[in-house]
């Protein structure tokens, strides 16, 4: 559903309430520098810190970061172990940053698939930040959009079997109510780093009318100036949500040139 956009004259137009980012290019960034892939993941943590802080200070209401997909479990076991360890370290070390910026932490995905230590660190950080009234930072962990939709369908079937759901009444709102986080509005802007032109099984239901912005910058190099470029590109877009603007065809949306 379309929302009345926030206007930001300093950016030249509307401002996204919810930004989602596919953080791509950590491994490539490292390999181009003759480093191990895992060192790229470590370098990417600084980008997470800077972009989260900048979004919170600018007034973004929700930021969703695609941190670990269900497909990522297929990577070499040592890399997966390193990523889970890095997640625990991040959750411990960034608690002060989250608190200082009033950020609430949330998670979407099959969190039960995460190692127990990572689940504990995630739960403790969520509890610590739960009372914060600023931006919501959602980490997509062990997340896949097809898995999310399958989980929702399974839950609806169980509810129908138990007599708690009338299948004749199922509509889009019903399906949304069974997704991992039905309360957070759909993303207005989806950013993908490292130049790849694909969605990678990310928020397929929620991104139906999201604006897409792709930059060649790899995630470890993505900083607030790069975010500003994405926001300015978004401000030039004309979002129609399948209808027409002022009853007229306003033409194609502006294209970013990143």
> Could you give the domains of the chain?
14-144+189-235 (3.40.1180.10)
Share of the chain above pLDDT 70, in %: 91
Determine which one of 24, 186, 188, 226 is catalytic: 24
Q: pLDDT, tens digit, for every residue of 140-158? A: 999 999 999 999 999 999 9
Q: Does residue 26 carry a catalytic annotation?
A: no
Give the confidence band of 7 by pLDDT, cuts at 50, 70, 90.
confident
For 9, 28, 83, 89, 218, the CA distances from 76, given in Å and listed in that order, are 47, 16, 11, 20, 21
Do 28 and 218 touch, CB atoms closer than 8 A?
A: yes
pLDDT at 97 over 90: yes
Do 256 and 214 touch, CB atoms closer than 8 A?
A: yes
Give the confidence band of 12 by pLDDT, cuts at 50, 70, 90.
confident
Q: Which residues of 1-31 are buried (b: 16+ CB within 10 A; e: fewer)?
A: eeeeeeebeebebbbbbbbbbbbbbbbbbbe
State pTM to two decimals: 0.91
Do 197 and 258 touch, CB atoms closer than 8 A?
A: no
Least confident span in 4-13, 156-165, 218-227: 4-13
pLDDT of residue 238: 84
Do 257 and 215 touch, CB atoms closer than 8 A?
A: no
Length of the chain in terms of residues written: 258
pLDDT of residue 156: 98
Determine which one of 10, 26, 72, 225 is catalytic: 72
Q: pLDDT, tens digit, for every residue of 14-62? A: 999 999 999 999 999 999 999 999 999 999 999 999 999 999 999 999 9
Q: Does residue 72 carry a catalytic annotation?
A: yes
């Amino acid at each position: 559903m379309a929302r009345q956009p926030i206007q930001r004259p300093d950016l030249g137009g509307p401002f996204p309430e919810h930004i989602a980012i596919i953080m791509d290019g950590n491994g490539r960034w490292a390999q181009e520098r003759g480093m191990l892939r895992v060192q790229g993941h470590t370098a990417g943590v600084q980008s997470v810190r800077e972009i989260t802080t900048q979004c919170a200070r600018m007034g973004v209401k929700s930021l969703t970061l695609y941190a670990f997909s269900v497909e990522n479990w297929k990577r070499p076991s040592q890399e997966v172990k390193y990523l889970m360890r890095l997640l625990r370290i991040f959750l411990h070390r960034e608690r002060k940053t989250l608190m200082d910026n009033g950020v609430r932490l949330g998670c979407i995905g099959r969190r039960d698939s995460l190692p127990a230590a990572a689940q504990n660190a995630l739960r403790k950080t969520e509890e610590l930040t739960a009372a914060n009234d600023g931006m919501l930072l959602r980490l997509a962990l062990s997340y896949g959009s097809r898995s999310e939709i399958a989980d929702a369908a399974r839950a609806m079937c169980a509810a129908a079997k138990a007599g708690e759901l009338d299948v004749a009444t199922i509509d889009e709102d019903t399906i949304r109510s069974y997704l991992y986080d039905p309360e957070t509005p759909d993303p207005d802007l989806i950013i993908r780093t490292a130049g790849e032109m694909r969605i990678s099984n990310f928020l397929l239901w929620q991104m139906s009318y999201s604006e897409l912005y792709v930059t060649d910058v790899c995630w470890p190099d993505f900083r607030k100036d790069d975010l500003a470029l994405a926001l300015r590109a978004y401000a030039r877009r004309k979002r129609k949500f399948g209808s027409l603007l002022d009853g007229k065809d306003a033409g194609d949306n502006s294209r970013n040139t990143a």
